[in-house]
Amino acid sequence: MQDPSLFNTQEVLDLLKLEQIGTDCYRGQSHFMGSPNVFGGQVVGQSLYAAGITVPERRVHSLHSMFLLPGNFRLPIDYEVERVRDGGSFSTRRVVASQEGRRIFVMSASFQQEEEGLSHQRPAPASSDPETIASNIEEWKRMPPNPKRPFMPTPVDFRADFQGDILSGNEGKTTRQIWTRAPIELPQDRLMHEALFGYVSDYGLLWTALQPHGIRVGDPRLQIASLDHTIWFHRPFRMDEWLLFSMETPNASGGRGLCFGHVYDRQGGLVASMAQEGLIRLRNKQS
């Protein structure tokens, strides 16, 4: 078992549980992640949790979101859920996240009544046993103190299936694989596992677009931010069991990078797929 002081799992679970302030209206808080801006994964996870509360009998199968403005972590975030449609098998929800009356994020999500059907998937890639890979969290904790980039605990363990860590990336490559798992047993609440997945899905996906250029997260020239984020949920999973995030970047141009991810459980089942485009702008290239 990993050192509990390296993680903030319970803190994140508490953040994802929103306060209801009106009919289909919820309020969430934020935490400091080394920047005055709200962490994008937190807004994804909270929005999914807000939408899921209004569809308790169905499971989310897709969400599509856009980041409009950077949020301020010191201010609460209000989430307004619109019940767009409830059909015979599917329900659609739209969520708008706002701070001080300014929209910072919008998401559309679709929920489906569980059913059986045809099944196939992309095979899981070859990978190392996560139990044989050193935790990147422990490596980060041992790094020399840097007041500009303080160590921030995370809700899950990360283990990079390549040389280096998830910050430096798989330099020169367009692909990367990261194992992840919450270090404690989580509640049976499936919506909480899905919301935590949304939170974690914003770690490292866009960073894949930096690898071919040998640029490390934290480079002072780098301006990086999520622009849009999509997740498709395929099969049930648990965030307290190992999941392999297999990521790739097919393109970078115009100051933007595009990344895809496929997520597998330990048995090789494809549980989710992701797509994200983000800003990867280099400022003052000569410095």
Rounded CA separation 72/270 (Å): 35
Q: Is 226 a catalytic residue?
A: yes
Could you tell me the two tokens for 153? 């605990």
The catalytic residue among 30, 202, 246, 265 is 202
The catalytic residue among 110, 226, 246, 273 is 226
Q: Is 202 a catalytic residue?
A: yes
CA distances, 100 to each of 37, 47, 137 (Å): 15, 17, 35
Could you tell me the two tokens for 60? 């989310």
Q: Is 121 a catalytic residue?
A: no
Phi, psi of 52 (to 5 degrees): -65, -30
Q: Which H or E element spans position 227?
A: strand 222-233
Rounded CA separation 47/34 (Å): 22
Q: What share of the chain is helix, strand, coil (3-state, %, to 5)?
A: 20, 40, 45
Active site residues: 202, 226, 276
